[in-house]
Structure 1
């Protein structure tokens, strides 16, 4: 399993990095290539979502195609930053307020049936659009945001292995501990401390305290994104969202934290541009 995880990572990482750094920026010829790349991720994730959420019938079969169409249409909001900010703020409210309630109440996806079409879009589309938004700040800025999830996950894993004693959410994800979550937060705070602030518009004008506060918020929502997907899988009895990525499970298994981090980061970024 470890060998397969490494092979898959070695194959995927160059593709992702090449797309981030070498596909044309918005506003240039060929810029649709980046939107198409993000759209492919949305299609794969939406295919897994219709399985995970228990959709039935024709709607389940055409859901990935519908997602691609809706994502393509919404990508035009990149030219309407105020509307896009509203969408990102709405997604941020979901992750900061609705998700903790969901995790507490453990609402079941199956109860919503095909209405999960809308919930899936609420989870996936803001994150996909955030990929488009944040790349306008530059490829290094986008990579810096993506790295938050990787730093948080890695630090949480090692701290949890070394010190984990108190379960974070035993009924949802028994392997996670409060010590691991604290380690993830510490890792991201250290990362944010050393991160070049001029990667982001007006970033150098923000105090260190503000940067660390943003890092803490993004770490918190990353944990909630991880836990929410774990809850969905546990409710339906699935170990992985799919087997699309050998050794890693599915696309949703790899981007669960980013689904939460990306819209919140995009909301902060757009706010700095508009206000």
Structure 2
């Protein structure tokens, strides 16, 4: 299945929010992945940063669905999303060592169709196969401080360049830096490449292949002395794949991370801080 990843991800990326009861709300970003469930039937998985759900104290959040109208316009129609059971226990699955969460959901038909096939998540060899590294441009979708691109509730598309080296293999470098401004509310948004590779297997004589893959998700921003450095921290898609595996099998093997990539001054682009007036 070949898709225009930029357009499809626009459709598959949603705002996640929870009212706090004082006229404000917490905000984060999520995106939909399609995969085959244990019963052999297709299912839709909502992916976000674990801290987005963790910082929402209530049992019910809202997911920002959009409805296409007959006249070509769109309507924003957030719907309830249950994230905790009656005892307050999380219903989502999270990775044991990385800031990734996944929740199987029943999405409206249009959103289920827009969900990105799991195969578009970068695999272990994707970065090395396309020689992805420092200076390559990636794009990110999100809702900075709860702001959407328009009243229809579509996410805002940003771009930045990979700002760290090396970025592979993921088991040693589970996160990498992206040079772009990050705000509360961006957490959980997809980071992806779409277009010709900058290098084709290291041979400048070869044509540049088009690449379409999700490189990871935005989980943190970098600060120094309370000053934002306009640098985002991206968790590699490998750990999204592993979290999806945990949804099906809680005993699925996880990667032992050689380095925890602790970055001085790193701070989650926290949904808790994305409190905005409703």
TM-score by length of 2: 0.28
Richer in helix (by share): 1
TM-score, reference length from structure 1: 0.28
